[in-house]
């Protein structure tokens, strides 16, 4: 199976949970902070950074890892 690269050209701004709590009935992690449900997409890194600075949001940039593509053919399964 090979992973595709669709929708990998966007920059996403996600918010962290400020006060995670454990639900006493089910044991699930929950929070009253609704910002964790919000994800903002930007077409470039600069737009995301400018938005965070304009709204005075602390941010951390996580650069995407460079993918190493190994081209294979179906016949390679039987040659080794």
Would you state the pLDDT for residue 50?
96
Q: pLDDT truncated to tens, each residue of the chain (80 aa)?
A: 566 777 678 899 988 877 778 878 888 877 777 777 889 999 999 999 999 999 999 999 998 888 888 888 888 888 86
Q: What is the pTM of this model?
A: 0.64
Picking from 74, 57, 61, 66, the residue whose alpha carbon sits closest to that of residue 12 is: 61
Q: Read off φ and ψ for residue 53, nearest 5 degrees.
A: -70, -40
Residue ranges of the domains in the chain? 11-79
Q: Which residue has the tokens 């400018």?
A: 50
Measured between alpha carbons, how far is residue 27 from residues 16, 18, 33, 36 in Å?
20, 18, 18, 19
């Amino acid at each position: 199976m090979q992973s595709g690269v669709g929708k990998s050209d966007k920059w996403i701004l996600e918010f962290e949970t400020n006060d995670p709590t454990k639900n006493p009935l089910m044991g699930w992690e929950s929070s009253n902070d609704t910002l964790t449900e919000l994800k903002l997409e930007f077409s470039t890194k600069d737009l995301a950074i400018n938005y965070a600075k304009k709204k005075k949001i602390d941010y951390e940039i996580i650069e995407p890892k460079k993918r190493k593509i190994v081209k294979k053919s179906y016949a390679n399964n039987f040659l080794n």
